[in-house]
Amino acid sequence: MAKRVRTRFAPSPTGYMHIGNLRTALFEYLIAKHEGGDFILRIEDTDQGRLVEGATDIIYDTLKTVGLQHDEGPDIGGDHGPYVQSQRLPMYKKYAEELVELGGAHYCFCSEEEIERQRKEADSLGISFKYDDPCKHISLEEAKARVAAGEPYVIRQTIKGDGETYFDDEVYGRIEVDKDVLDEQILIKSDGFPTYNFANIIDDHQMEITHVVRGNEYLSSTPKYNLIYQAYGWDIPTYVHVPPVMKDEHHKLSKRNGDASFQDLVAKGYLPQAILNYIALLGWSPETEQEIYTLDELIKEFKISRISKSPAIFDIDKLTWMNGVYLRNMSLEEFYDLIKDILKDSIHREVDLLTVAKILQPRIDTLAQIKESVDFIDTLPEYDTAMYVHKKMKTTPEIALKALQAARSALADLQDWSSEESVHELLMALPKQLEMKNGQLLWPVRTAITGKQFTPGGAIEIAYILGKEETLARIDKGIEKLEAELNQ
Ligand code: GLU
């Protein structure tokens, strides 16, 4: 019987959720869920120098917000805990000692300064450095005696023999390397902490992870990890290395270089679900042209065989487009609920906010565009009369003035301002009476009441939103400006 599929997301708590990491978490989740398996969260905090306060909460919050619910993890427990590496320390030491007995590792007493000196020397000569550790020739008995006597030590991997070693990756295929080029890296540091190189193997084994899914920067170290699995005689997991997420052809997306994290994107007005949908397509493609997916649809469609080897470029314009699709696919009520606090913050006049939401919904792609789109509601901006002249609408200052005067007197007589329809009926009757095209009336009216070239909604909806008094005042101002210009 095939084993139950188990994947893990193993972030280091850095204080933000990198987009590339979230994409990897999504792939891990989808691989597990596609097979009805488990998705595990493990916190890799053994690099104590890099710990950031509150950083694990950001991980929990992000996973929760996007709906990647883990089945086991530090906050919810499970049968394979603890799920935080710093709580697993005694175990790594025990396993490392066992690996020494098995011949897969050895105690090393070399001073770091000496190794560093050799590394620098090699660097200055331009040759690649590989430490040839004399300690691997010390007998186990002697090494143990030195450890017992309190001499500082690390535990280092032992790579025996020469020739090729290989492993199979689901995305990159068979990777073969000459053992000669593999470093005998440190597994347990002198402070007793494991390195990532060791902890990932022990944890993945202990947590019964069947598919190790991670960034392709680990591809070159995987042959070494594989040798350790073999030394223990453990089942080798299925390796799924995923391509990097790039900002452009040459640079990886990196929070450290100022690129947006998940939290930054949300703050910039992107919806968590749209972000998740977009990043699913970074390095993975479905069999069809479909681009908009719910998480359930992704679970159904996701196949490892469609993960690409090529780096994926993060295209903010594409995300912006997709976010707009998500906004437009909402019901007006959902959309209103989502933006009402931003509206209340941006508009201080008593207006029908639901109608404001209605005119915004088809027009914006991110929530960050709202404030600027509705700024004219509070105050009419200064504008130039040149704006009344629109080639396509066939308006001139004379036509605009005529249109505004007619609209002003008709609107002044309108008693019922309680719905868009009454304003609509009234304004739409005017062009015929004035023998004008619709645009020749509506363009000047919209210009007068918004002072802007581009606005969500048209003259009718905006007049209704502003209310009678404000609409008339703004039209008066427009008339005044046009008269002043024509009388010059
Ligand atoms: N803690 C590692 C990282 O954040 C995890 C790598 C892995 O998934 O094995 O890069």
Least Cα distance to 105 among 166, 194, 169 occurs for 194
Q: Which amino acid residue places its CA nearest to atom 4 of ligand 1?
A: 11
Is residue 160 annotated as a catalytic residue, yes or no? Answer: no
* Cβ pair 41, 73 in contact under 8 A: yes
% residues pLDDT > 90 (the chain): 89
Q: Which residues of 447-481 are buried (b: 16+ CB within 10 A; e: fewer)?
A: bbbbbbeebbbbbbbbbbbbebebbbebbebbbeb
Are 68 and 37 in contact, with CB atoms under 8 Å apart? Answer: no
Active-site residue identified among 224, 247, 255, 358: 255
Nearest CA to ligand 1 atom 3: 11
Query: Which residue among 31, 200, 203, 217 has the greatest number of ligand 1 atoms within 8 angstroms of its CB, and so is best to mutate?
Result: 200
Pick the residue whose CA is nearest to atom 10 on ligand 1: 11
Structure confidence at residue 23 (pLDDT): 98
Q: Kindly give the distance from the C-alpha atom of residue 323 to the centroid of ligand 1, in angstroms, as a whole number.
A: 29
DSSP 173-238: EEEEEEGGG----EEE-TTSPBPHHHHHHHHHHHTT-SEEEEEGGGTTTHHHHHHHHHHHTPPPPE
What length is written for the chain? Answer: 488
- Helix (H) or strand (E) run with residue 7 in it: strand 6-9
> Using a 6 Å cutoff on CB, does residue 10 contact ligand 1?
yes
Could you give the CA distance from residue 364 to residue 325 in angstroms, rounded to a whole number?
10
The model's pLDDT over 429-460, given as tens digits with 9 standing for 90+, comes to: 999 999 999 999 999 999 999 999 999 999 99
Confidence of residue 398 (pLDDT cuts 50, 70, 90): very high
Query: Regarding beta strands 211-215 and 238-242, do their DSSP bridges make them parallel or antiparallel, or are they unpaired?
Result: parallel
Give the model's pLDDT for residue 130.
Answer: 86
Beta-carbon contacts of 49 under 8 Å, excluding residues fewer than 6 positions away, are: none
What is the Å distance from ligand 1's center to 342 Cα?
Answer: 37
pLDDT in tens, 284-315: 999 999 999 999 999 999 999 999 999 999 99
Question: How does pLDDT run across 155-196, given as a tens digit for each residue?
Answer: 999 998 889 999 999 999 999 999 989 999 999 999 999 999
Query: Does residue 19 surpass a pLDDT of 70?
Result: yes
CB-ligand 1 contact for 44 (6 Å cutoff): yes
The tens digit of pLDDT for each residue in 200-217 reads 999 999 999 999 999 999
pLDDT at site 46:
83
What is the phi/psi pair of residue 94, to 5°? -60, -45
On average, the pLDDT of the chain sits at: 95
Q: What is the pLDDT of residue 307?
A: 98
- List CB contacts of 277: < 8 A, sequence separation 6 or more: 291, 292, 293, 298, 322, 326
In a mutational test of the pocket of ligand 1, which residue from 16, 218, 221, 254 has the highest number of ligand atoms less than 8 Å from its CB? 218
Q: Is any atom of ligand 1 closer than 6 Å to the C-beta of 17?
A: no
Residue 11, ligand 1, Cβ within 6 A: yes
Q: How far is the CA of 8 from the centre of ligand 1 (A)?
A: 10
Residue 110: per-residue pLDDT: 96
**Residue of 9, 3, 108 lying closest to 64 (CA atoms):** 9
pLDDT of residue 77: 96
Calculate mean pLDDT across residues 326-352. 97
Q: Which residue has the tokens 């190794």?
A: 115
28-75 pLDDT, tens digit per residue, is: 999 999 999 999 999 999 876 666 778 899 999 999 999 999 999 999
- Average of pLDDT values for 128-150? 94
CA of 152 from ligand 1 middle (Å) equals 28
pLDDT of 258 higher than 90 = no
Angle at which helices 459-466 and 420-434 pack, to 10 degrees?
130
Q: What is the pLDDT of residue 50?
A: 67
The predicted structure's pLDDT at residue 1: 67
> What proportion of the chain, given as a percentage, has pLDDT over 70?
99
